[in-house]
Amino acid sequence: MLAVLCPGQGSQSPGMLAPWLELPGVPDLLAVLGAAAETDLLAHGTTSDADLIRDTAVAQPLIVASSLVALRTILDGRDPAEVVDVTAGHSVGELAAAAVAGVLDDAGAVGLVSYRARFMAEAAAAEPTGMSAVVGGDPDEVLSAIEAAGLWPANVNGGGQVVAAGALENLTQLAADPPAKARVVPLQVAGAFHTPFMQPALERFEPVAAGWDCADPRVTLLSNADGEPYARIDLEGSEHGKARDVVRRLTAQIASPVRWDLCQETLAELGVTAVLELAPGGVLTGLARRSLPGIETLAVKSPADVDKARDLISRHSATDGDTQSSTETSA
């Protein structure tokens, strides 16, 4: 069983789209996505420096566009619903995953995320806040220390990693007195994402998202809120797994914690045998190797990984009737 995962903010790097531009159709796709985002994704993905692409308003559409460029290249015209068994995305990666699942089309995903990015950047600029990864330590002690420092566990990632978020002075306090056997690593992000500091962004994004074109998911899609597949989520006044359920949860997630640990638990429960992380890949496959032992993982970082990705799909997709599952593991 194949899971396709989409990375979140912080996975970008300067020039990451440059090698993809050598492939047929990619420049045209990037032109469409850039127009939808109302930003020059071609320049940001090739010549913009690290400081510029760290800007939330740039980073989020750039990351989602990169994931979708990789997806379309790997599938070469095939519908994701033909080969992908389950998909999920970390934070902003949820919008790329929504495109994998068919909830949003590619231009719609990048266009919607551009609003999300601008509103979150503006909310982050209002107060001096940030995020730090807390690596190691006893999970309960880590969460208690984060709370005691007046912070929020913005990302509970599993694999011994929790991201604390809040006021910079509180993050400094946590770093000065970390939980036992844990280290605190400041992250290069603009603000305290997935916390109440993002409430102004949520309120501005909500009416935009509510009117956005969307469709019911055609691939099993997991929610960052609790790791549940949308087909099992029963929201008040809605039907299981419908398009508007997805959009409402994507909206609420701006100011709510990312429970990637629960997403990984669901992947294990579903019997996933392989994880394919779309570009700019690396972080989520690293977490999967620690939390989901025995599965095969592949992070797509450049076109050099496309053939390996197609091979992984051919051996693990349960959706594709022409393929057979494998349980081989990779380093």
Residue 73 C-beta-side C-alpha neighbours within 13 Å: 31
Q: Answer yes or no: is 218 within a domain.
A: yes
Q: Answer yes or no: is 35 within a domain.
A: yes
Kindly name the residue from 48, 91, 256, 317 that is annotated as catalytic.
91
Task: Measure Cα distances from 64 to 125, 220, 269, 288 in Å.
Answer: 22, 19, 27, 20
Q: How confident is the model at residue 326 (pLDDT cuts 50, 70, 90)?
A: very low
Same domain for 83 and 22, yes or no, is yes
The three-class DSSP label of residue 261 is helix
Same domain for 169 and 287, yes or no, is no
What average pLDDT does the chain have? 93
Q: Answer yes or no: is 175 within a domain.
A: yes
Q: Annotated catalytic, 194?
A: yes
- Of 175, 190, 205, the last residue of a domain is 190
Whether 20 has a pLDDT exceeding 90, the answer reads yes
Question: Residue 39, exposed/middle/buried by CB under 10 A (0-12, 13-18, 19+)?
Answer: buried
Indicate which CATH number applies to the domain containing 270: 3.40.366.10
Same domain for 32 and 49, yes or no, is yes
Buried b (16+ CB within 10 A) or exposed e, 116-136: bbbbbbebbeeeebbbbbbbb
pTM of the full structure: 0.93
pLDDT reported for residue 320: 75
Same domain for 76 and 172, yes or no, is no
Whether 236 has a pLDDT exceeding 60, the answer reads no
Average pLDDT over residues 20-30: 96
Q: Answer yes or no: is 325 within a domain.
A: no
Cis peptide preceding 280, ω within 30 of 0: yes
- Number of domains forming the structure of the chain: 2
Q: Answer yes or no: is 322 within a domain.
A: no
Kindly name the residue from 66, 90, 132, 194 that is annotated as catalytic.
194
- Helical H runs in 76-105? 93-100
Q: How confident is the model at residue 238 (pLDDT cuts 50, 70, 90)?
A: low
- Give the C-alpha separation, 45 to 129, whole Å: 27
Whether 148 has a pLDDT exceeding 70, the answer reads yes
Same domain for 184 and 312, yes or no, is no
Same domain for 21 and 143, yes or no, is no
Q: Annotated catalytic, 13?
A: no
Q: What is the pLDDT of residues 115-134, one digit of tens each?
A: 999 999 999 999 999 999 99
* 330 φ, ψ (degrees, to nearest 5): -115, 160
- Please count the other Cβ atoms lying within 10 Å of the Cβ belonging to residue 46: 17
Same domain for 148 and 291, yes or no, is no
Indicate which CATH number applies to the domain containing 184: 3.30.70.250
Q: Answer yes or no: is 323 within a domain.
A: no
Q: What is the pLDDT of residues 280-315, one digit of tens each?
A: 999 999 999 999 999 999 999 999 999 999 999 999
186-195, 201-210, 224-233: which range is least confident on average? 224-233
Q: In terms of residue numbers, what domain contains 219? A: 2-124+197-316
